Structure formats: structure tokens, C-alpha cells
Amino acid sequence: LDGLLIGAELSGLASAPSVLVAAGPAQHVAYQTAIDTLDLGSRTRFLAPEEVALLAVRGQARLLDKLLK
């Protein structure tokens, strides 16, 4: 099911000038496969999967800091 959803999501971006993918470690390979299949590689940048995995935690920590000040 992930492959179908990712393929549908990315096919909607076929005419986009560039694509930035923020996929965690579990989804990274599926996104890379879909991007290769749709020939979007030359217009696609990936955030490092390890960094993406920490984005929610970092955002919540930043929000907490602002709320506590």
C-alpha cells in the first residue's frame, strides 16, 4: 500500500520544477524507487533519513522552549 500511495503522491508532482523529499528511514527506499520509476531524480533532493526522523522531536522541543519562556 505504501508504494501505491507514494506513487500517486509523486505522480502529482511530475510537472513540479523541483521536489524535496523528507522521508524517514522506513519510507526512504520506497520514495527513492518511485522517484527513479517516475524519472524525477534530476529534480529531486532528499533530506537525510536520519535527520527526518528527528524533525518532529526537534520541533516539539522548540515549541516547548517558546512556551516556557
- The model's pTM is 0.76
pLDDT at 2 (0 to 100)? 76
- For 15-60, what is each residue's pLDDT tens digit? 899 999 999 988 999 999 999 999 999 999 999 999 998 998 999 9
Q: Can you say how many angstroms the Cα of residue 34 is from the centroid of all Cα atoms in its chain?
A: 12
